[in-house]
Amino acid sequence: MSFTTAYAFEAKEIQGYILDRTRMREMVGASGIIDSLCNAPLDQALDALNLTENSDYQFCRRGGGGFTLLFREKNQASALRDLISLIVPHYAPHLPFVHAVASAASSLEAIEDALKQLKVAEQQPQVDLPLAGPLTERSRRTGLPAVAQQHGEYVDAAARTKQRFAIKDDTLAAKFLTQEQLNHYRWPVDLNPKEFNDKSDPTDRPTFPYLDGAVRYLAIIHIDGNGFGQALKSLRDAIKQRADYAEIEYAFSQTINEIGQTAAQQATTQILIPAAQDGALPARPLLLGGDDLTLLVRGDVALPFATAFIEAFERESQQQLRDLSELYTIPLPDGFTACGGIAYIGAKQPFYRAYHLTEKLCDRAKTQAKAVIAQNGDRVPSAIAFDRITNLMEQGSGRADLTLAGAVYATDTHIKGLPPLNNLLSLQREVAQESGELQGLVKKLHTQLSQQSGDVALYRRWRETHSKGCATLDNHLHALGSADTDRPVVRCAQQYFSPLGDVKNLIMVHNHHGESHDADTQN
């Protein structure tokens, strides 16, 4: 009998599950839970049911908070589904998930039917059981039913589980380091030493290594690969009649995981290890699965890490997809690109705000990158956008079509239709190295751009009295696109933006002794 029954499982709202807490230890624990969900709990469930791989079931996908298996018998798939329904709420309290079992004439049809059922299940409301009664004490931070009291504070089941997991498991963070590096470098668990004053953690892990005297800016990085969904669809169409269908799809899934892990290790070696303090790395991995990466990092190394990861992701995907294509004689793309978003945030500001901004910035980068496909050989280029969380409250009433900060930049200087990131960084270095007068002017111009009255008069006066600086700024603006003569703004393809806002943000997050009121204020 062939494998014609599929069981598909998918954890939902993963980013929110990780980032909806202000305490880093709970975010660390949540990321570890998500990373391990497809490993030990699943293996234990299969062992409990006495099921054997390749005899009773085959893997098609495993990782990133989801998995898909093919079974010979529908009752075996149903038994696993029922057992997972009991395991997940205890292993990952309050984590939303959907799963489905489907049988069909072929493996491919079974998988497609199961995935369709997942989409339907996503629209149905989920209820945590048992329901909390009117006399139930609740956590003040979340409003969820409390299950314990720690240091005079009621905590819910998810918070307690996340805190415990942060201490006992660090498999996700280990993926970012080589075996040799694991002996010399450690990842922080807490943002400050007073966050958890207990003896439950015997490992003496470091707190976050801020720079001495620096403004305490952190950043949330989210990077998502381009073209993965289309590549998987094309692969399934090409192998749907092959007997080794499940083996090939699983190999593809594992290859994508390996590409992301290798790229993360290379970016860590290149950027984070040189920035470590006494072996403590200035970052904390939160999600690494498939073509997705989410990372909490010190603000000054956020952009360098993101660009290093994207470059490594492109290189590794080219090599590993070529090897996989030759191994199974299957059609695969020449490689993948990736787009990312970075949200800078003060160390005391709530992380969920940064998470939502990061997602929007990543989506903006993808949209702009897809708009210039025709100019780049029908290939979505890699791109990135970044902004500070406080800018959401600083936006004025200027032109709606003008982007004041968070423009999309190409990570490759040869991309057409997007301003090159390297050219923006050249402008940022020029402004940072100049006198305080130029930096002050950049802030004034950026502020006036957000006002309805405009900044034309100020900009013209400055050009009349600073011919040298004017020529330098013009050169940088023209390097980013078509510069406006009356405003420090640039038009590049579909974007109409001022790079001054992004320059201001980069200077602020790299300023060791700059303004700190917005970075240290909890909104």
How many structural domains compose the chain?
Answer: 2
Q: Which residues contact 509 (CB under 8 A, 6 or more apart)?
A: 215, 217, 219, 299, 300, 302, 344, 388
pLDDT of residue 455: 56
Domain-located, residue 184: no
What are 357's two structure tokens? 């901004």
428-432 mean pLDDT: 86
Please report, rounded to a whole number, the percentage of residues in the chain having pLDDT higher than 90: 56
Asked whether residue 514 carries a pLDDT value surpassing 50, the answer given is no
Higher local confidence (pLDDT), 474 or 331: 331
pLDDT in tens, 208-221: 888 876 678 999 99
Q: Is the peptide bond before 206 cis (omega within 30 degrees of 0)?
A: no
Q: Which residues contact 347 (CB under 8 A, 6 or more apart)?
A: 191, 208, 210, 216, 217, 218, 519, 520
User: How many residues are listed for the chain in this entry?
Assistant: 523
Asked whether residue 45 carries a pLDDT value surpassing 70, the answer given is yes
Domain-located, residue 89: yes
pLDDT of residue 522: 45
Widest Cα–Cα separation across the chain: 84
223-234 mean pLDDT: 93
Asked whether residue 188 carries a pLDDT value surpassing 70, the answer given is yes
pLDDT band at 393 (very low <50, low <70, confident <90, very high): very low
Residue 395 sits at φ, ψ, to 5 deg, of -65, 135
241-264 mean pLDDT: 94
Range of the domain at 414: 397-510
Please report, rounded to a whole number, the percentage of residues in the chain having pLDDT higher than 70: 88
110-119, 142-151, 242-251, 413-422: least confidently modelled range: 142-151
For the chain, the average pLDDT equals 87
pLDDT of residue 391: 55
pLDDT of residue 295: 94
Domain-located, residue 18: yes
Domain-located, residue 83: yes
Beta bridge partners of 280: 186, 277
CATH of the domain at 81: 3.30.70.270
Domain-located, residue 272: no
Of the three residues 169, 191, 226, the one that is the final residue of a domain is 169
Asked whether residue 15 carries a pLDDT value surpassing 70, the answer given is yes
Query: Is the separation of the CB atoms in 296 and 218 below 8 Å?
Result: yes
pLDDT band at 195 (very low <50, low <70, confident <90, very high): low
Domain-located, residue 30: yes
Domain-located, residue 293: no
pLDDT band at 203 (very low <50, low <70, confident <90, very high): low
Beta bridge partners of 275: none
pLDDT in tens, 92-107: 999 999 999 999 999 9
52-61, 253-262, 459-468: least confidently modelled range: 459-468
Cα separation values, 307 from 297, 357, 378, 382, 461, Å: 14, 19, 22, 9, 37
146-161 mean pLDDT: 89
Domain-located, residue 180: no
